[in-house]
Chains A and B, each alone.
Chain A
Amino acid sequence: DIQMTQSPSSLSASVGDRVTITCRASQGIGSSLAWYQQKPGKVPKLLIYTASTLQSGVPSRFSGSTSGTDFTLTISSLQPEDVATYYCQKYNSAPLTFGGGTKVDIK
């Protein structure tokens, strides 16, 4: 099975900082990669799919990119409401594996 390795596992940044989270697939998955945001005590929410397509209603400070089997979620200017855990997930074929998550908080 394809493994999804997400890094870092946690980070602390200041409001306004640019934040980058990486997810690496152990084999090629094309662009079948989604990012989810889970705020504390809340249900996860789809942010980005097909590696770089923003889900409707998601602020434009979020973006996704890919380079081969490396996928990146970028928050261009971190806001207090972005405190959350972020997960990547492959969905090209089963199993639809999640990355381990990245917890983002404010410094």
Chain B
Amino acid sequence: EVQLVESGGDLVQPGRSLRLSCSASGFIVGDFAMSWVRQAPGEGLEWVGFIRSKFYDDTRDYAASVKGRFTISRDDSKNIAYLQMNSLKTEDTAVYYCIRDIPLRFWGQGTLVTVSS
């Protein structure tokens, strides 16, 4: 059974960094595209970025709103995908979801990131 569990969400000050983790079970993260999507309180879904599978050379793409600040990576030995978030802004406040596949088939439960002073 495919399972994804996000962790690492927290309250952080603007300008600080945070790393989210997505622990996977039931499959090997390197064999699939792994995406991050966020949802600000009361708002719609926003695609953040993804990392392609090892079969596509682990290439990544990001939304313009996070490009240069956020980095997606994964550790195949731990079967975890990561979202490194730097230079956080108040508008990054959201629930962050980790998802397997494109289109987005298997979703984690999400982790809340609050950026506030």
A positions within 8 Å CB-CB of B: 1, 34, 36, 38, 43-46, 49, 55, 85, 87, 89, 91, 94-101
Chain B residues lying within 8 Å of A43, measured Cβ to Cβ, are 97, 107-110
Residues B97 and A89 in contact, CB atoms below 8 Å apart: no
The B92-117 residues at the A interface (CB cut-off 8 A) are 97, 102-105, 107-110
Give CA–CA (A96, B37) in the complex, Å: 10
Chain B residues lying within 8 Å of A46, measured Cβ to Cβ, are 103-105
Binds A, one of B11-19, B24-32, B43-51, B83-91: B43-51
Chain B residues lying within 8 Å of A45, measured Cβ to Cβ, are 107
Residues B103 and A91 in contact, CB atoms below 8 Å apart: yes
Contact of B103 among A38, A89, A95, A101 (CB under 8 A): A89
Chain B residues lying within 8 Å of A94, measured Cβ to Cβ, are 50, 61-62
Chain B residues lying within 8 Å of A55, measured Cβ to Cβ, are 105
Band of interface residues on B: 20 to 34
Give CA–CA (A12, B13) in the complex, Å: 40
- B69 CB to closest chain A CB, in angstroms? 15
Residues A44 and B103 in contact, CB atoms below 8 Å apart: no
B63, CB-defined interface residue at 8 Å? yes
Residues B109 and A36 in contact, CB atoms below 8 Å apart: no
Residues B50 and A96 in contact, CB atoms below 8 Å apart: yes
Q: Given that A43-B97, A46-B104, A91-B102 are known contacts, is A98 also in contact with B46, CB under 8 Å in the complex?
A: yes
Closest to B45 in A: A98
Give CA–CA (A94, B81) in the complex, Å: 19
- A23 CB to closest chain B CB, in angstroms? 13
Closest to A50 in B: B103
- A2 CB to closest chain B CB, in angstroms? 12
Residues A36 and B105 in contact, CB atoms below 8 Å apart: no
Give CA–CA (A97, B104) in the complex, Å: 12
